[in-house]
Amino acid sequence: MEAKTTTTYSMWSLFRNCRKACEWRYIQELVPLERDHNLAFGTVIHKCLEIWHGGRDLGLVLDFIDRTYPNRAQEEDQKREWHLAAAMMKGYAACYASEEFDVVALEKTFEGSIVNPATGASSRSFVLAGKVDGVVRIGDEHFLLEHKTASQVDADYLERLWTDFQIVLYSRYVEQTLGIRIAGVLYNILVKARLQQGRGETEAEFEARRADLIAKSKTGKSSAKRRLPESDDEFQARLAAKYTEPGMFHREMLYLSRDRFETLQSELWELTQAFLDARRRGVFYQNTAFCFHYRRSCAYFPLCRADGSTNVIENFYRKVPPHEELRDETSFEEASAF
């Protein structure tokens, strides 16, 4: 008998949103050469939180951040993310110096059957696998712990958590794997500070500003001094102050609806049937309404625009086996499903 294909929620979500994107990623196994910075940063914070909740040793977390950005002295992108990650994790450790929960498991993987709701039979083609950030106990109830980094947390953001169907589905599989009842989800949200390190003025910029001030001055003079670049210590201090402000860390607890799980399970089954049909016929159609869904272009936009040109594949994509989130280099999903 043929082995069942491992699938993840990300795959089914992508198949539902755009079948063509699902084909590019999960059948052709293509990913863009250029990594998405938002996702890469989220992955780093994800790992930091795993280390922190594993032993509450901030030194280990900061050491991991240092090792993640070895070229920060030369590369601006690395330096910017190093500053943000270090300040965010120092702020997090201070904000949650004591915890309301006990950690039961971290980075827990699971694999389970996909069930036909009409017959109760398991799919002969697919299994669903996944990984949750953690399982925690509060009082006598268990919750999934779900980390998120966000640009801001407002009412809209919190409202959208309701549409996080992945976690609802995962909860039931975790229940089966661990043999405990999951009451809900504890969203652990860390906000990315938007501060930028002051780069100072060039000599020419300073002279232009000074000339401008002198032109406006009644005395024809100016005591303006050239603005110097902000040092790393000064910038860290500014970030540290930012991370003491309310709203930079947010926890939201949602209780799970058992009815919603039944609905999602049915939808998952429907998706498996549609996928089998698309694969059999070799037809994965495009959903162009999804191309700019996350206010940026889809990772496969250049490929679709070039009608799947092999030249574009060779120059802008590489092959990576799917389901990266199940491997050690956890992919952290902030917006995109790729």
Least distance (Å) between residue 32 CB and ligand SF4:
11
Return the residue of 202, 263, 288, 309 that touches ligand SF4, per CB under 6 A.
288
Q: Where does this chain touch ligand SF4 (CB under 6 A) — which range of 38-46, 55-63, 86-94, 286-294?
A: 286-294
- Interface with ligand SF4 includes 286 (CB under 6 A)? yes
Nearer residue to ligand SF4 within complex by CB, 24 or 243: 24
- Interface with ligand SF4 includes 261 (CB under 6 A)? no
Nearer residue to ligand SF4 within complex by CB, 20 or 53: 20
- Interface with ligand SF4 includes 287 (CB under 6 A)? yes
Nearer residue to ligand SF4 within complex by CB, 224 or 278: 278
| 200 Cβ neighbours under 8 A, 6+ residues apart | 226, 227, 228, 229, 230
- Interface with ligand SF4 includes 236 (CB under 6 A)? no
Q: Write the secondary structure of the chain as one string of H (helix), E (strand) and C (coil).
A: CCCCEEECHHHHHHHHHCHHHHHHHHHCCEEECCCCHHHHHHHHHHHHHHHHHHHCCHHHHHHHHHHHCCCCCCCHHHHHHHHHHHHHHHHHHHHCCCCCCEEEEEEEEEEEEEECCCCCCEEEEEEEEEEEEEEEEECCEEEEEEEEEECCCCHHHHHHHHHCHHHHHHHHHHHHHHCCCEEEEEEEEEECCCCCCCCCCCHHHHHHHHHHHHHHCCCCCCCCCCCCCCCHHHHHHHHHHHCCCCCCEEEEEEECCHHHHHHHHHHHHHHHHHHHHHHHHCCCCCCHHHCCCCCCCCCCHHHHHCCCCHHHHHHHEEECCCCHHHCCCCCCCCCCCC
Least distance (Å) between residue 273 CB and ligand SF4:
21
Return the residue of 114, 183, 298, 337 that touches ligand SF4, per CB under 6 A.
298
- Interface with ligand SF4 includes 60 (CB under 6 A)? no
x-marked contacts with ligand SF4 along 300-319 as a string, rule CB under 6 A: xx--x---------------
x-marked contacts with ligand SF4 along 9-38 as a string, rule CB under 6 A: ---------x-xx--x--------------
x-marked contacts with ligand SF4 along 37-56 as a string, rule CB under 6 A: --------------------
Least distance (Å) between residue 306 CB and ligand SF4:
11
Total interface residues for ligand SF4 by CB under 6 A: 13
Return the residue of 39, 291, 312, 313 that touches ligand SF4, per CB under 6 A.
291
Interface residues with ligand SF4 (CB under 6 A)? 18, 20-21, 24, 286-288, 290-291, 298, 300-301, 304
